[in-house]
Amino acid sequence: MLSTLIYRSQLSDSVTPERVKALVEHSSIKNAAAEVTGILLFDGQHFFQVLEGTVDNVHAVFERICQDDRHFNLIELMRDYAPARRFGHAGMALFDLRDYEKHTVVDALLKRVTLNDERIRHDRVVKFLRSFVEGRDKETFIGIDPASHWTLTTPLTADVQPSWQPQPDQRCEFALQPIVDATNRQIVSCEALIRGLHGAPPADYFSQLPESERYQADLYSKTYAFQLARHLGLGELTLSVNLLPMSLVMIDDAVEHLIQQIRLQGLRPEQVVVEVTEDEIISRFDEFQFAVQQLKAAGISLALDDFGAGFAGLSLLADFQPDKVKIDRKLITDIHRSGPRQAIVLAILKCCQALEITVIAEGVEKIEEWLWLEGAGVRYYQGFLFARPALNALPAVSWPVRRPK
C-alpha cells in the first residue's frame, strides 16, 4: 500500500544553510534505493517534507530522519494513504523557496507534481504544501527549546513517606498528586486518587466491588479523601476528587452528603473540585445537570476529566460548561511531535478561553511536552514530570529549570 507522510522541522544552528544542498543529495540517494519519493521544501530555516512509498519504507526513512540531529522541532503533520504518488520522480528533489519570486512559487511547486489529475489542487498534501509556502502554517507553529537546555530541580521520586496512616477498617485509601502552575512554581491543587488495599489501582478497587455497590462506595469513599486533606493540613489548597457522574445521580442526597462531609473535615466547599469523566454524563444528562446545579450552588467547582478521550467531547461543552477542563493524557503524550494533537489542543484552548474555562494538561511526562504546552499558553499541569501520586501523602514537586549556558 502506498503511504504518505508529511513532517516539518527546523535546521539546527550547527548546520549552515549552504550545506543543506549537499546533505539532501546524500539522503536522496538512500531514499531512491527505498523507492521513497516526494518533495523537500526549505525556506532557509525550516524544512517541510512529503514522503511517499510503501508503508514500511516510508516508516524506515522517517525513523532515520527523526534521529538526525541536523534538524530539530520535528513535527509529524500527516500520515495518509493514496492510490498513486504525487511526486513520482526518483529521489528527493530539494525545492528551495528562496529561489522563487513569491507570486510564482506555488505554480513552480505544482509543476513538480507528476500526478496528472484535475483534483490535485484539492488534495490534502498539496494544501499542506501551499500552507507552508504561503506561511500560513506559522500561525500554529510553536518552536520550542531543545529539551537538553532544561533540567528538573529535584530528582523524580515516588518514595514520599506516608504522613498519615488510615484506620484499620478502611477499605480504600487515597494517593495525592499535585496540579501545578509551573511558571510560578506553585501547587494550585491536589487530586485525590482512590487506591485499594496496599495501594491497588482504582480499577482493581472498583472491580472487586459488586456492581450494586459501586456508586455508594465511590461517593462514601470521598470522606477518606477529605480526612486525608485535613490531616495533611492542605490549608487553602484546592482538593480535587473524582466521582462517577452516576454516583451523583443514583445515590439519594449525594450532593448534601458530600457537602456535609467536606464541612465535617474542616474544609470549605469552595476549595473542593469534583472531577467527572464525560462518557457517563450523556446517558442521564438532565439528572446529572440537576446534581451539578446543587454542587455549584454550594460553591463546589466542576472539572471535566479526560477531555477528548470520551464520546461527547465538544458537543457536551455546548450544553454544559464546567469550571475546568482536563485534557486527556492521550492528547498530551508526544504533543511536541504531533501536528494533529497540536491542532486539537490549540482548538480546545481557544474554545476554553472563549468560555473562560481553566485548562489543565494531564499526564505530562516529558520536558518537551511541557515546553510545547507552555508555548501554546497552557498554565496548569499534572503529570509524572512534576510529581507522581503518593499514597497518603503530598509528594514533592520537581520544577523545570533552564540550564545555565
Chain residues binding ligand C2E by CB under 6 A are 177, 193-194, 201-202, 218, 221, 242-244, 275, 277, 305-306, 329, 362-365, 382-384, 389
Q: Under the criterion CB under 5 A, does residue 137 sit at the interface with Mn ion?
A: no
Tell me which residue of 374, 378, 344, 346 sits closest to 359, measured CA to CA: 378
Q: Which is nearer to ligand C2E, 237 or 243 (CB)?
A: 243
156: left (phi over 0), alpha (psi -120 to 50) or beta: beta
List the interface residues with Mn ion, window 294-353 (CB under 5 A).
Answer: 305-306
Pick one of ligand C2E, Mn ion, none as the site partner of residue 137 (Cβ within 5 to 8 A by kind): none
The answer to whether the beta carbons of residues 43 and 94 sit under 8 Å apart is no
* Nearer Cβ to ligand C2E (177/265): 177
# binding residues, Mn ion (CB under 5 A): 5
Query: For residues 95 and 39, is the Cβ–Cβ distance under 8 A?
Result: yes
Q: Which grid cell sits at 186?
A: 506553585
Would you say how long the chain is, in residues?
405
Q: Contact with Mn ion (CB under 5 A): which of 242, 261, 265, 301?
A: 242
Residue with cell 504544501: 129
Contact flags string 272-291 toward Mn ion, x per CB under 5 A: ---x----------------
Helix or strand holding residue 314 (H, E): helix 313-319
DSSP characters over 67-98: H-TTEEEEEEEEEEE-SS-SS-SSS-EEEEGG
The backbone torsions φ and ψ at residue 342, rounded to the nearest 5 degrees and listed phi first, read -60, -45
- Lay out the site mask for Mn ion across 356-375 (x = CB under 5 A, - = otherwise): ------x-------------
- Check residue 235 and give left, alpha or beta (phi > 0: left; psi -120 to 50: alpha): left
d(CA 327, CA 343): 13
Site residues (vs Mn ion, CB under 5 A): 242, 275, 305-306, 362
